[in-house]
Structure 1
Amino acid sequence: MRTRTRRWLTAGAALALLAAGVLTPAGPAGAESNGGTRVMPLGDSITEGTQVPGGYRIGLWQRLAGGGYRVDLVGSQFNGPGNLGDHDHEGHPGWRIDQIDANITGWLNAYQPRTVLLHIGTNDILQNYNVSTAPNRLSTLIDRITNTAPNADVFVAQIIPLANSGQAAAVRTFNAALPGIVQSKVNAGKRVHLVDQYSALTTADLIDGIHPTATGYDKMAAVWYRALQSVSGSIGTPGSSGGTYQNVQLVGAGSGRCLDVPNGSATNGTAVQLYDCWGGTMQRWTYTSAKQLQVLGNKCLDASGRGTANGTNVIIWDCNGQPNQQWNLNANGTISGVQSGRCLDAAGYGTANGTRINLWDCHGGTNQQWSARA
């Protein structure tokens, strides 16, 4: 067993890390920053991820990583599972538009986001809080955001459906006002964009009539991702120094443990493994424009013997640019070999320290899902 000095993100985060790899509860914590483009997920429990901790942020983070974007989620709140590479957000369960508006200036000044993802208004309807004037309050909130952060792109969502028939009608009325509001901001030269989250989900995607299921949240993630990609600069540029992951840990979704080179050995042929995340150099990976995953300076993740079959060991070797050292970061969080088409896989669905990594047919299971963490 190796003796190591462990590096924790924050004391609060350490105490909240459960055996299942889920970070709870939501609440203030030290920011996780990778130096990427700052994006603030902003809203209520649907941003926080009630029922499915992390919510749409899980699928969005995985898509961003798969696309080669380097993004730093920001906010005063912190929650989500191990396969969410950045747990920061500004989602506040139960909050209405006016409550977000009362706090937004401080948050924007503190975190200075380049991009804001705003999904708010659901609680105004659920609480029957002056519903007829909710669009006006949203317009005021948008103005406060654009005045405080004029260089930020603000993505304003038409909110997702509600199952209750009366509330569902109020959602439709609220959403119908949003295109005109957003267009008025655009006409005034503001960087505001409308995002249709309403059409992405049906009531079948709601776990409790209000909050999405895991599948529903992932549908939201796909909509956000497409919207972000459509606005140049909102999430940086993939494959550039601002969009390539540098010096990050790769965390297994099923285990919450990191891709690790045993004992930091630089010997060619050393097999990689899962190990408790602690931030040492043997757990620091850089994804290059040549699709290599580099570690320890000049070593590359390598399919042993240029193998392509199920069970091929994954090792480190001197970087040589050959296709058995090239990897694709996929939108579902998997990492697949360019040569083999097979995925990095924690052998036998293992989660323990020392579990070896091999190639296996891609099936998207949690033992094949990875996320980047600063």
Structure 2
Amino acid sequence: MRTWGRWCAAALMAVALVMAGTAGVAAAESNGGVRVMPLGDSITEGTQVPGGYRIGLWQRLAAGRYTVDFVGSQFNGPGSLGDHDHEGHPGWRIDQIDANISGWLRTYTPRTVLLHIGTNDVLQNYNVAGAPQRLSTLIDHITTAVPDADVFVATIIPLSNSGQESAARTFNAAIPGIVQSKVNSGKRVHLVDMHSKLTTSDLIDGIHPTAGGYDKMAAAWYGALQSVSGSIGQPGSGNPGAGAIKGVGSGRCLDVSGASQANGAQAQIWDCNGQANQQWTATASGELRVYGGKCLDVYGAGTADGANVIIWDCNGQTNQQWRFNSDGTITAVGANKCLDVPNYSTANGVKLQIWSCGGAANQRWTRS
């Protein structure tokens, strides 16, 4: 069993890494929303401004009440970024992304892909004339692997070096025709004119945007996503939106005891009945809301095994943030422990708690 001291040290280190914007690979974050994969190179990763455009995009999605889950094998950005997952790889060219894309798509099955790639082909002068065809092939591989996904293909942003900027413009000029050819063949591919949204004054080092430049990218992505129905779900509902959360072991639903709306009312399992006290909405900030303004909450911000799970006025604290995991478990973010039915019970009225994650049926849940 992990001691309290070791847990604190690990938690503090994790927070420090996120706050410093350190890049890395980590367990995927998920709020159960529409899976969006930011895909590309260092501009997706956020070189110079860790998190890059994903910061402003996340903020716009949250303000618009969209429930979105960024996905990918990489992880970085500030603590204010609600979901740090992405597929941005500094220094990578189109062919390097293409060599790995099928595996990533199998693992993360995105509903939407945001693709900004080609800058390193230009910077490395890597067969630039062949770059449009490489991009076309990459798009084909994406649409084959996830045919129901919407793929947003951006023109690459400006470069300060005049020769490289000329090559970038030539590459960009081919992209509308590539996208149109995919549309003509029935693919869900969309053009995003990113190049025109920034100027060289928006670059911090001649290549990567300033914070303001990244925010301009965020605005362009957000506008494009809003223009395509379904690509980020519906505002205020997300995907899957309000609904029941059912225990795998018990077959009963996450329920507020006595249908109470009072602060401190305990969460329990009960026969699924579709009533308001069993209707939970995952928000972009990681909350599980019931009755509109009450949140699933770990009592007293507890972190110990056995801490009670209740409802309370939503306040944005980490003891009201929950993460849906691919194995069906639901992690209490503040405690890093799982929503748990004590003693594997299946009876009506059993009060819920958090407990060290083990992945057993009493810690696994399905949504409907």
> Is 1:187 matched with 2:200?
no
Other-structure match for 1:359: none
Other-structure match for 2:234: 237
Structure 1 residue 7: deviation in Å? 8.2
Other-structure match for 1:72: 69
Question: How far, CA to CA, are the matches of 1:44 and 1:284 in structure 2?
Answer: 27
Other-structure match for 1:320: none
| Aligned-partner residue type, residue 101 of structure 2 | I
CA contact (8 A) 1:244 1:288 kept: no
CA contact (8 A) 1:68 1:244 kept: no
Other-structure match for 1:206: 203
CA contact (8 A) 1:74 1:88 kept: yes
2:16 aligned to 15, 18, 32, which one?
Answer: 18
> Is 1:171 matched with 2:168?
yes
Structure 1 residue 232: deviation in Å? 0.8
SS of the residue 1:80 aligns to: coil
| Aligned-partner residue type, residue 15 of structure 1 | M
CA contact (8 A) 2:115 2:154 kept: yes
RMSD of Structure 2 on Structure 1 (CA): 3.1
CA contact (8 A) 1:157 1:197 kept: yes
> Is 1:120 matched with 2:134?
no
Question: How far, CA to CA, are the matches of 1:20 and 1:148 in structure 2?
Answer: 31
**What TM-score does the superposition give when structure 1 sets the normalisation length?**
0.65
- Seen in structure 2, the aligned counterparts of structure 1 residues 215 and 284 have a Cα distance that, compared at 3 Å, is closer
Structure 1 residue 23: deviation in Å? 3.8
- Seen in structure 2, the aligned counterparts of structure 1 residues 6 and 182 have a Cα distance that, compared at 3 Å, is farther
CA contact (8 A) 2:66 2:238 kept: no
> Is 1:85 matched with 2:82?
yes
- Seen in structure 2, the aligned counterparts of structure 1 residues 293 and 284 have a Cα distance that, compared at 3 Å, is farther
Provide the aligned length of Structure 1 versus Structure 2. 265
Render the CA deviation track for 1:236-264: whole Å, top value 9, x for unaligned: 11112527699xxxxxxxxxxxxxxxxxx
CA contact (8 A) 2:154 2:194 kept: yes
Render the CA deviation track for 1:71-93: whole Å, top value 9, x for unaligned: 11111111000000111100000
Structure 1: gaps of 5 or more residues: 247-264, 269-282, 303-374
Other-structure match for 2:313: 300
| Aligned-partner residue type, residue 43 of structure 1 | G
| Aligned-partner residue type, residue 16 of structure 2 | L
| Aligned-partner residue type, residue 100 of structure 2 | N
- Seen in structure 2, the aligned counterparts of structure 1 residues 285 and 189 have a Cα distance that, compared at 3 Å, is closer
- Seen in structure 2, the aligned counterparts of structure 1 residues 288 and 240 have a Cα distance that, compared at 3 Å, is farther
Question: How far, CA to CA, are the matches of 1:103 and 1:298 in structure 2?
Answer: 43
- Seen in structure 2, the aligned counterparts of structure 1 residues 147 and 289 have a Cα distance that, compared at 3 Å, is farther
Structure 1 residue 28: deviation in Å? 1.5
**What percent of counterpart residues are identical?**
70
Render the CA deviation track for 1:51-80: whole Å, top value 9, x for unaligned: 000000001111111111111111111100
SS of the residue 2:16 aligns to: coil
| Aligned-partner residue type, residue 164 of structure 1 | N
Render the CA deviation track for 1:346-369: whole Å, top value 9, x for unaligned: xxxxxxxxxxxxxxxxxxxxxxxx
Render the CA deviation track for 1:242-290: whole Å, top value 9, x for unaligned: 27699xxxxxxxxxxxxxxxxxx9479xxxxxxxxxxxxxx98445785
CA contact (8 A) 2:289 2:296 kept: no
CA contact (8 A) 2:43 2:208 kept: yes
Question: How far, CA to CA, are the matches of 1:113 and 1:101 in structure 2?
Answer: 16
**What TM-score does the superposition give when structure 2 sets the normalisation length?**
0.66
Other-structure match for 2:150: 153
